Structure 1
Amino acid sequence: MTRREVARAVAATLGTASLTATALGATPASATGNRDGSADRKPGAKYGPQVRHTGEGPTGYEVTFRYHAPTARRVQLKGEWYFERPSALAERLTGPDHLAETQGLLPRQWQAGDVPASHPNSTSPLWPVVDMAKGRDGVWTYTTPLPGGVYTYGFFVDAQADDTTTSGQLPDPGNPAWNVTDGVLRGRAVDRSQIYVPADPDFPAADLSWQGPAKGARGKLTYATYNSPGHVTPVDENHLVVYTPPGYDPKRVKPYPTLYLSHGGGENEMGWSTQGDLARIMDNLINQGEIQPTVVVMPNATGYASSARDQEHRTDLVERVFPWVEEHYHVSTSASDRAYTGLSAGGMRTAYLLLDNTEQFGYYGIMSAGLPPDTVLTDARTAAMRKVSVFVGCGWQDPINPGFALNGSSLHRGPFRAVRDLTAAGFHVQSDFVDGGHNWHVWRILLKDFLTRVAFLPPTTASAAWGA
């Protein structure tokens, strides 16, 4: 059956479904995770996504995506729902010279143990693009089953889209990002939306409820601009997003620890607070007592003049971002109360900071990246790095994992090699490899693990938490 035929067949089932809306944001009105799929409707979200508990296979839940475009000739939907079945891979893990190819399973093929992974394996977001069906009311619809978790999606209107591009992608106007209120944008726009789907215990899936709506108090996301002389785009200024935890008290005796969280290539300061589900993850971990209340700073690491080893960004971070954050928020000025982690290109920024600015943070988390190819562990570097905690994590099926050459050049040695080289140099590296590729499903898990097992824990405690 073609994609268009599937969309038409699904559309024919609408009208009998009892549907309710869910959305993803800092303080969202969204699904509570009840078995019946009940949720509060986001104000103004007339055409947003709807989640329905079916109690039927393969996942127990289905989502209907809707887009109102009466005059459009074609509307397409792109979503993060190719899946891999790790247990069925001929080679479950990547190795130094090969990559295990994922199966590209569709949601209706999902089974317990399957995880989201782009297809084919790539550092690009290779996800299904499907045609939606137009109703008489001008609303285009597409329904699909989905297992529990967070999914990013976007629309293409009258465009020729395929699995390899996001050019022209549009967010869901019925499910906007957290920085859109009553149609007014504060800060930078994003071109995609997110949705959370509860898990049905009758169709076992990994427990990702810690990515869902907070069970308790919620923190706050704030978009900010600071002076950054020499920054190119925008000129002499830059942006960041700040998360403050539930019950944030600017007058409490003990200042808050700070997590600096870096985005990947092609993204910006909005990445972690939207696709990364940062606010909900932090709210849940704090409310459940798994981590201490923490301020999170998500800077924009792009738009600088070209520099070796990302020097311009590192200088801006230390000389301008640190003082700005410390002036506006009640955070500790001690390096032992600062942590830095990032994904992909942000993982490489973490590696540069670990090697060249070791004294600025007490904890470094490298996600889906490795060490620069020219790394030399000098005596001075080695002495400094023995005073900090280092975390390295990646998806087992990520092509970056073993350190493949990309576009004809080797960007780094890969997470495998980073763990090997640092361990050989005598460092205790806390490694974390999970099934998945170069995608947000993996990075959300790595963030939780970094926060609960490494960041702001004494080195001996962090080691014990990992069973070392």
Structure 2
Amino acid sequence: MTKARGYGPQIRHTRKRPTGYEVTFRYYAPHATRVQLKGEWYFERPTALSERLTGPDHLVETPGLLPAQWRPGDVPIAHPNSTSPYWPVVDMTKGRDGVWTHTTPLPGGVYTYGFFVDGDADDTTITDQLPDPGNPAWNVVNGVVHGTAVDRSQIYVPSDPDFDPDDVTWQGPSEGARGKLLHVTYDSPGHVTPADKNYLVVYTPPNYNAKRAKPYPTFYLSHGGGENEMGWNTQGNMANILDNLINNGAVQPMVVVMPNATGYASSSQDQLHRTDLIERVIPWVEAHYNVSTEASDRAYSGLSAGGMRTSYLLLNNTEQFGYYGMMSAGLPPGTTLTDAQIAAMKKVSVYVASGWQDPINPGFSTIHRGPFRMVRDLTDAGVHVQTVFIDGGHEWYVWRLLLRDFLTRVAFLPATTAPASWGV
């Protein structure tokens, strides 16, 4: 395993079509008989879709374009289009040195990938996905995991302006000062898994000052279904995004808290998690970090299931945060807004966003009613909603863009009556 850590992805600036860059993925497994690579790189060409928007009566089908077919304007999206991560799987080639390789062009951006060794990536009961030991998560130090392990890795690919006009430097490692990530365990009586304890990941901004006269605002950021406190700081690439936004002056320095919202007993509208967040997490953060204790200096956002948690907080705990960002989610089925809820929501900033091709847009009948209906219902009630819908599916490509949009247009900014934005 020590030798394996010396390997990792190689990025080459080829200055050739289609993207100007190519990546060689490598995995050291001299005794393996098969190694597969699964990567976050099927694409769609929005302008070529017969229908651009997933609606109540149809799902936008995507062609599953491979990187070699990529053209400017294409965006990553699962194939078939769904809320599950259906990404291409390829067999890697074994070299005499025991290193398995696969080379592919990739356009600029951040991509998640993982390996399957001596198994079948289509049958995860046979083998588990493995991260790249040569490119581990931030919480792996000298091969030791500090906190929760993750089963995948990420890579940042620059964009070549001769082939790829999309500037993605805001997603890459900052050339300036960088913030820090810390995995935290706190007491959480009644939490089931782990018993009576739970986890957070906390991001402190570049040059964080524990004695600064003005306390920092706090941004609470929630993961999606099947994920945990590690989702946003690995697949979501949030630390690089925040570092760049802060260093470029696009947003003010802030502390970001990523709770683990799983492992609770079942409760209506996620009440046990909301109670834990309000009664334990927020006080713990405010006792350990130089952050404001004012609700107007707190923001909450999340993707998919995390978007639903945001909706539950908006409906039931509106006084706890000044800014609420729902990504790829809507209001619970059967929601009837009361006068008190409407009055409370008019005092905070509300943001609803999604990908145009996301299958959740029509809503899931037993989970939520979809972001389109949420915008309509809140607007009809007289609640101002800031929105953005972009090309893309139920996918981290979309959520990274929405994270930047929420932070630069909504969070910790004065409420606005500006019209909705339809692109980022």
- What TM bracket, shorter-length normalisation? over 0.9
The correspondence for 1:453, drawn from 400, 409, 412, is 409
Indicate if the aligned counterparts of 2:193 and 2:263 stay in contact, CA closer than 8 A.
yes
Deviation readout 1:290-342 (Å, 9 max, x if unpaired): 00000000000000011010000000000000111011100001000000000
8 Å CA contact retained: 1:124, 1:164: no
- The match for 2:374 is 418
Q: Distance in 2 between the 1:71 and 1:420 partners?
A: 58
Per-residue deviation at 1:44?
8.2
Q: CA deviation at 1:166?
A: 11
Q: 2:396 aligns with which of 424, 432, 440?
A: 440
- Range with greater deviation from structure 2 (433-442 or 165-174): 165-174
Q: Are the equivalent residues in 1 in contact too, given 2:219–2:256 (CA < 8 A)?
A: yes
| Number of the residue aligned with 2:223 | 263
Task: Confirm or deny: 8 A CA contact 2:388 2:420 kept in the other structure.
Answer: no
Q: What whole-Å deviation, never above 9, does each CA across 1:192-215 have from its counterpart, x for those lacking one?
A: 000000000110242221000102
Indicate how the Cα distance of structure 1 residues 246 and 44 shifts in structure 2: closer, same or farther if over 3 A, else same: farther
- Could you tell me which residue of structure 2 aligns to residue 122 of structure 1? 82
Give the conservation status (yes or no) of the 8 Å contact 1:148–1:205. no
**Alpha-carbon distance in structure 2 between the residues aligned to 1:294 and 1:449:** 16
Percent identical across equivalent pairs? 76
Q: CA deviation at 1:464?
A: 7.5
1:428 and 2:384 aligned? yes
Aligned-residue offset at 1:103: 1.1
Rounded to whole Å, the distance in 2 between the matches of 1:386 and 1:109 is 47
Write out per-residue CA displacement over residues 168-223 of structure 1, whole angstroms, 9 at most, x where no aligned residue.
Answer: 00000000000011112110100000000000011024222100010211000001
Deviation at 1:465? 9.2
Distance across 2 between alignment mates of 1:371 and 1:173: 41
User: Quick one: structure 1 residues 166 and 191, their matched pair in 2 at CA, closer, same or farther if it must change by over 3 Å?
Assistant: farther
Q: Give 1:180-195 correspondences, 5 Å limit.
A: 180-195=140-155
Quick one: which amino acid aligns to residue 440 of structure 1?
W
Partners in 2 of 1:169 and 1:143 — Cα distance?
19
* Deviation for aligned residue 1:62: 0.2
**Counterpart check, 1:354 vs 2:314:** yes
Aligned to 1:35: none
Equivalent position to 1:154, from 114, 124, 147 = 114
1:29-44 equivalences in 2 (<5 Å): none
**CA offsets per residue over residues 31-61 of structure 1, 9 Å max, x none?**
xxxxxxxxxxxx9842100000101000000
Alignment of 1:56-67 (within 5 A): 56-67=16-27
- Cα distance in 1 for partners of 2:382, 2:242 equals 33
Q: 1:369 aligns with which of 329, 333, 339?
A: 329
1:149-171 deviations in whole A, cap 9, x for unaligned? 00000000011112999960000
Q: Call closer, same or farther: CA 1:225–1:297 in 2, change over 3 Å.
A: same
In structure 1, list runs of 5 or more residues that go unmatched.
1-42
Q: Shift in Å at residue 379 of structure 1? A: 0.7
Structure 2, gaps ≥5 residues long: none
Partner residue, 2:418: 463
Amino acid at match of 2:145: L
Letter in 1 for 2:101: T
| 2:386/2:419 contact within 8 Å kept | no
For 1:191, the aligned partner's letter is D
Could you say what secondary structure the match of 1:463 adopts?
coil
Contact 2:386 2:420 in 1 (8 A): no
Looking at structure 1, the residues matched to 11 and 108 of structure 2 have their Cα atoms a distance apart, in angstroms, of: 11
Find the residue that maps to 1:430 and give its secondary structure.
strand
**Match in the other structure for 1:24:** none
Which residues of 2 match residues 311-330 of structure 1 at below 5 A? 311-330=271-290
- 1:84 is aligned, of 44, 47, 58, to 44
Change (3 A) 1:366 1:325: same
Q: Separation in 2 of the partners of 1:365 and 1:312?
A: 20
Distance 1:130 1:198, change over 3 A: same
Aligned residue among 199, 220, 228 for 2:159: 199
Distance, in Å, in 2 between the alignment partners of 1:103 and 1:165 is 28
Instruction: Specify the alignment match of 2:237 in structure 1.
Output: 277
Seen in structure 2, the aligned counterparts of structure 1 residues 464 and 376 have a Cα distance that, compared at 3 Å, is: closer
Q: Which amino acid is the alignment partner of residue 435 of structure 1?
A: D
Distance, in Å, in 1 between the alignment partners of 2:376 and 2:415 is 19
Question: Does 2:208 match 1:252?
Answer: no
Instruction: Give the equivalent residue in structure 1 for 2:294.
Output: 334
Instruction: Give me the CA root mean square deviation.
Output: 1.7
Contact 1:147 1:205 in 2 (8 A): no
Are the structure 2 counterparts of residues 118 and 165 from structure 1 closer, same or farther at C-alpha, using a change threshold of 3 Å?
Answer: farther
Q: Using the TM superposition, give the Cα deviation of residue 95 of structure 1 relative to its aligned residue in structure 2, in angstroms.
A: 2.2
